Copies of this chain bind each other. A is one copy, B any other.
Amino acid sequence: MAPSRDEPDLSFLLDHSSHVLRTQMAAALAEIGLTARMHCVLVHALQEERTQIQLAELGDMDKTTMVVTLDALEQAGLAERRPSSTDRRARIVAVTEKGAQVAKRSQEIVDGVHRAALGSLPEEEAEVLVRALNRLVTGHLATAVEAPQPVRRARQRG
């Protein structure tokens, strides 16, 4: 939505800037064959032994979305599913050697995209921007208002 008047339209400012930054990030990561989600999973899986559900929560995605993301990472040879030694239901996501290299590169890309954006601002403005957003994200804009759940029919038996 475009700004309608002279008042600051915070919705437009946040929507537009986050959308454009997201497209820049997607384009930059696509050059090494990654999506933002794949990058996110790689980085978190590298930090410590984590199951799919733990990684899903960290990346704020559904467990079924994690399945698809992991399929892509496995197919690219960047990660593997390994049985957990303590819970035979769970799978630990192990990052391969190649995956670790790619993650290092993708983190540089992510940092670069962020630096380019923040670097386009006067230094003090960039600092305050980050501080203000952090305050919002941990305060007034911490948790989404959940919409009323749409009804969902049972799926066809097969």
What is the distance, in angstroms, from A63's C-beta to the closest C-beta of chain B?
16
User: Which residue from chain B places its CB closest to the CB of A9 in the assembled complex?
Assistant: B114
Provide the bound-state CA to CA distance between A128 and B132, in Å: 9
Given contacts A120-B140, A129-B129, contact A145 B24 (CB under 8 A): yes
User: Which residue from chain B places its CB closest to the CB of A36 in the assembled complex?
Assistant: B1
Given contacts A23-B144, A141-B20, contact A14 B125 (CB under 8 A): no
**Contact among B21, B23, B114, B146 for A8, CB-based, below 8 A:** B114
The answer, yes or no, to whether A65 is at the interface (CB within 8 Å) is no
Q: Which B residues touch A36, using CB under 8 A?
A: 1, 11
Given contacts A140-B117, A147-B26, contact A11 B21 (CB under 8 A): yes
Provide the bound-state CA to CA distance between A103 and B22, in Å: 31
Please choose the segment from A37-45, A71-79, A83-91 that sits at the chain B interface, where 4 or more of its residues have CB less than 8 A away: A37-45
Interface centre among A113, A120, A128 (most CB of B within 10 A): A128
User: Which residue from chain B places its CB closest to the CB of A43 in the assembled complex?
Assistant: B4
**Contact among B37, B128, B129, B136 for A117, CB-based, below 8 A:** B136
**Residues of A that sit less than 8 Å from B by CB:** 1-2, 4, 7-27, 36-37, 40, 43-44, 47, 58-60, 107, 110-111, 113-114, 116-118, 120-121, 124-126, 128-137, 139-147
